[in-house]
Chain A
């Protein structure tokens, strides 16, 4: 058991290392110079002053050092929890900027992922029962999964936001409000949250419903189902077993899909100007803000890895076959 988790942890650590390294490399080898863009913002005419400022900023961000040293420094400060200073929101530390955005992204992602998974599975299993439902669920499900997140987002924003005018289409809360625990603020927060959530939920929901519908039909035709039916077991019992067994591949599917869903959340945030990590990444790109970009990606990598690890653990808990193999492997 521990050997299994030890091996898993090692693989995750390796993934983390590689992901962070790539994450460090990408902004540095991108075209564009952050220091120059900061200087342009300052619009200083004096050439000497300009040179002094360049030297100051370069040493401040550590850009005057050789690349390998920048890399080592990056790991050093990362381990100390220092993600550097944002260029775009200078001089706010990157960690502060990101921590301000993370709750919005999590608030959007966690309910969307979990609810779509639960509802999609329930609904797919339910649909596999009836001919009429089956014939409608399949095409609608395929349509939903094939829809790009942002396109569905734009469609929802246009139909429910602009035409019907029910939901606001931008921001996390009304422009006139300050964050507080008042009724007005919370209701505005929920209203603004709903459309981005819905677009994420719908796309993922279609995929889960189709997956479950196919899996449960397969399980209902499995030998153990036929045997139970021959012995007169009620439909309820057979369905319960089939549903549980069909959930296992769906759990693997969830682990595989996490990355895609996170990417979808980033696009959705941009469509709805939702102040989460996605929006932050867009701003960081536009402002050549290496450090912010790195920090944001770091959080995404961490989130996906942690979620995958949780699924690994859950899988071991729910599937005796994995458990047995592990015990056999450790013995």
Chain B
């Protein structure tokens, strides 16, 4: 790992709703090194998918309020759909949550890929050999290109999408909950394929969005934990899992089941309470209401600071 490839600072994104703006991302700032696989974890509504989407394509309800994103030193115009288009696919790519239904059902897969490539200014013939090689790598024959999506199993479709999304060797790949719909053994295989893609240089860096912290731990170099629209902790996977600094991360990890422990002996603990509404988020630390360590100073917003080498946390008590 060398140099900084992705640099996000003060990124704030709101969702427009009829009842007002939902503050889905508030002042998010972090960096990713070249070649880094960052696991992005958090519960539903923590803003992890919103962050992933913001980096490639905001939907019509999302509004870029402030903040910048730099990829390899170049600023991404994330709030501007048209200006962002040249970066999409070539530089930033996405493996969506819905891989099973991501392919047009009425086009042969090969033809759809050709049409997509042509529309992005790539001559299909020039990447044909590479496409076949990568399909082979994930265990698919070139035959799939002549088929319709309905003729493939769910796992095959997922692999096609993985190859298609990374075909142009993007600098940043966003893998958004790619394993959510899979069974446990396939989850691991998919995650490891993505690591292999990185090792072969098919992608320079990846944000692996997931709510499954144990899966993330197996493949990610670093982990960033989000809570209520803000990052609360980021560090190497090892440091975050074994020595979490933020109380939320600690509670999250202690609520995971452990191998060999029967739950008759020790009840699984959840985190009491629920996250704050983001229509009108509370001042100060957003975890304060549920935090056993909360004290007066938590009225003020804790900064996201480096508490150890390469380990950041946003908690007054973490330092």
Contact = CB atoms under 8 A, between A and B. Distances in A.
Given A223-B96, A321-B150, A324-B151, A232 B120 contact: yes
A8 interface: no
Interface in B102-161: 102-108, 115-116, 119-120, 148, 150-151, 161
A319 interface: yes
B40 to A, nearest CB: 17
A319 B104 CA distance: 12
A230 B57 contact: yes
A226 B87 CA distance: 16
A287 to B, nearest CB: 52
A244 interface: yes
Contact of B105 (A226, A231, A245): A245
B131 to A, nearest CB: 15
Contact of A231 (B106, B108, B120, B151): B120
Contacts of B85: 232, 234
B81 to A, nearest CB: 9
A231 B107 contact: no
B57 A224 contact: no
A228 interface: yes
Contacts of A318: 106
Interface in A223-279: 223-224, 226-234, 236-237, 241, 244-245, 248
B319 interface: no
A224 B116 contact: no
B49 interface: no
B208 interface: no
Contacts, number: 72
B116 A231 contact: yes
A324 to B, nearest CB: 5
Given A230-B94, A232-B85, A237 B106 contact: no
Given A241-B107, A245-B105, A324 B148 contact: yes
B122 to A, nearest CB: 11
A232 B88 contact: yes
Contacts of B88: 230-232
A245 B105 CA distance: 8
A231 B101 contact: no
Contacts of A248: 106
B97 to A, nearest CB: 9
A224 B103 contact: yes
Nearest to A244: B106
A231 B165 contact: yes
Contacts of A324: 148, 150-151
8 contacts: A223-B96, A227-B161, A231-B89, A232-B84, A233-B119, A320-B106, A321-B106, A324-B148
Report the 5 A-B pairs with minimum CB-CB distance, sorted nearest first. A232-B88, A227-B102, A223-B101, A231-B89, A223-B98
Interface of B: 56-57, 84-90, 93-94, 96, 98, 101-108, 115-116, 119-120, 148, 150-151, 161, 165
